[in-house]
Amino acid sequence: MSNPAPSVNQILQGDISKTLRNMTLPVLAGMLTLMTFNLVDTFFISMLGTTPLAAISFTFPVTFTVISLAIGLSIGTSAVIARALGAGNNKEAQADALAALWLATYMVLALSLLGMALLTPMFRLLGAGADTLGFIEDYMMIWFAGAVLLVMPLVGNAVLRASGDTKTPSIIMAMSGVINAVLDPIFIFGFGPVPAMGMQGAAVASVIAWSTGCGLIIWLLFKRGLLTKAWQPLAVCLPIYRKILRIGLPAAGANMLTPLAMAILTAIMASYGAAAVAAFGVGARLESIALLVVLALSMTLPPFISQNLGADNLRRVHHAYRITTFFIIRWQLAVYVVLAALAWPIASVFTDDADVARFIRWFLWIMPLAYGLQGITILTNSSFNALHQPAKALWLSLIRLFVFYVPLAWTGGQLFGVVGVFAGCVIANLFTAIIAYTWFNRVSLFNLKETL
């Protein structure tokens, strides 16, 4: 694979809209395939029945916790390396990349071992009953065992994106997603000599897909010269760890707040029965697809911002943020129209249960109304991290989830049931988007004035 990264001059001096478009478009295909990991699992597991579908819905907050740690570390990695590259410090960027991969491995191993040890009480706390616990354990023990293979490509891809290369990570993500989609029905339902493994089969398919992406990304980093082969003594590693964790830990904490809030919402939905939990799980996975462009921009905007930060081009940072937020509002309104129109056929794809289908339709008619507003918050968080101001991103996440999101969802549920939960989430996203947009513009304009 040749390196398709845009030149430093393009990122630092080229047309902002064109540069961001060229960096983001390659990400979309790869992310679309990657995001189908959970959606494909959900689709095939739904064919096993409502109880397995509810079980996989219970796993989402936990799996997303591990993924959030990896994403947080990749955010710290990208911000540190992109700033070094923007300042012309290539050797520093190489050393940072190696340390980041080892740091992510250590932390995710520890979190996975803890999750395996506390598996049953953890899911009982989330509201899982005896009918779903067996399915959950079948899936999660294998998932935890292979979690490191998921994390390594995420952090490795962050190194590539920090250099401006968004195409190669997208190819790797797409390849992993295709492998997962092909293997899922084989291992879940059995094929030829492969026995039917049910929930365990979905986890096995994912681990195989991750391992392929992991091997490829490590090979590419060495080939591109983005990863040093030199041994790093502890005295060298620790300062790099601190540098990455200064951004990565608050970013990981902010990302982990989302599955924590999702866990609380799952418990709230559990009070309305298994059908509500199953529908909420389907909706959460559809949400990741609906927010695909937002998530792609949240991966390409930070290296653009960090490289320009390293080169002291703060005016370009401010303009890039405004361009992306205005675009995402228009885009997500169009997405809402499509989802609302297709709510009936989408629900019928995932279930034959009338109650589950009804709740899925209400989810699609209400929740996507605020996806553009949610996109502003997501892009603001990633922009704060790229500016090496992770505490602001963490506070914004705390405000969104625990000042607005969970309280308003609970209140809505008490007043209007499941529909009220969804409506409360929409109102929460509105309030948070107003705060996020106002806060970032004040911060970026203040920094800009300080440099003039």
Q: What is the pLDDT of residue 338?
A: 96
Task: Report which of 218, 46, 228 is spatially closest to residue 149, judged by C-alpha positions.
Answer: 218
CA–CA separation, 284 and 57 (whole Å): 9
Residue 259 has pLDDT above 70, yes or no: no
Residue 68 has pLDDT above 80, yes or no: no
Cβ atoms of 200 and 44 closer than 8 Å: no
Mean of the pLDDT values across residues 232-240? Answer: 81
The pLDDT tens digits for 262-293 are 778 888 898 898 889 888 888 887 887 898 88
Mean of the pLDDT values across residues 70-90? Answer: 80
Percent of the chain with pLDDT over 70: 93
How many Cα atoms within 13 Å fall on the side-chain side of residue 450? 8
For residue 191, which phi and psi values (nearest 5 degrees)? -160, 125
Cβ atoms of 76 and 254 closer than 8 Å: no
Q: What is the pLDDT of residue 3?
A: 43
The SS3 assignment for 46 reads helix
Residue 12 has pLDDT above 80, yes or no: no
The pLDDT tens digits for 152-184 are 888 888 888 787 787 787 788 778 878 888 898
Mean of the pLDDT values across residues 213-238? Answer: 82
Q: What is the pLDDT of residue 387?
A: 85
Cβ atoms of 436 and 321 closer than 8 Å: no
- Cα 208 to Cα 79, 114, 142: the distances in Å are 30, 22, 11
Cβ atoms of 20 and 103 closer than 8 Å: no
- Cα 226 to Cα 155, 157, 240, 274, 331: the distances in Å are 13, 11, 16, 48, 35
CA–CA separation, 155 and 219 (whole Å): 14
The whole-chain average pLDDT of the chain stands at 84
User: Of residues 144 and 53, which shows the higher confidence score?
Assistant: 144
Structure tokens at 6: 């845009």
To the nearest 10°, report the CA torsion of 347, 348, 354, 356: -40
Task: Report which of 29, 68, 40 is spatially closest to residue 203, judged by C-alpha positions.
Answer: 40
Q: What is the pLDDT of residue 447?
A: 60
Residue 452 has pLDDT above 50, yes or no: no
Q: What is the pLDDT of residue 30?
A: 63
CA–CA separation, 265 and 155 (whole Å): 29
The pLDDT tens digits for 309-338 are 777 788 888 889 999 999 999 999 999 999
CA–CA separation, 300 and 241 (whole Å): 23
CA–CA separation, 443 and 452 (whole Å): 15
Alpha helices in 367-417 (DSSP H): 371-386, 390-398, 406-416
User: Of residues 128 and 200, which shows the higher confidence score?
Assistant: 200
Confidence of residue 435 (pLDDT cuts 50, 70, 90): very high
Q: Which of 5-19, 205-219, 302-316 comes out lowest in average pLDDT? A: 5-19
Cβ atoms of 428 and 404 closer than 8 Å: yes
Confidence of residue 143 (pLDDT cuts 50, 70, 90): very high
User: Of residues 221 and 336, which shows the higher confidence score?
Assistant: 336
Task: Report which of 105, 75, 410 is spatially closest to residue 254, judged by C-alpha positions.
Answer: 75
| CA–centroid distance for 252 within its chain | 11
CA–CA separation, 243 and 73 (whole Å): 11
User: Of residues 156 and 452, which shows the higher confidence score?
Assistant: 156
User: Of residues 142 and 451, which shows the higher confidence score?
Assistant: 142
Residue 357 has pLDDT above 80, yes or no: yes
The pTM for the full model equals: 0.73
Confidence of residue 408 (pLDDT cuts 50, 70, 90): very high
User: Of residues 80 and 437, which shows the higher confidence score?
Assistant: 437
Q: What is the pLDDT of residue 438?
A: 93
Alpha helices in 195-313 (DSSP H): 199-224, 234-270, 274-290, 292-310
Residue 35 has pLDDT above 70, yes or no: no
Residue 79 has pLDDT above 50, yes or no: yes
Q: What is the pLDDT of residue 445?
A: 61
CA–CA separation, 246 and 54 (whole Å): 37
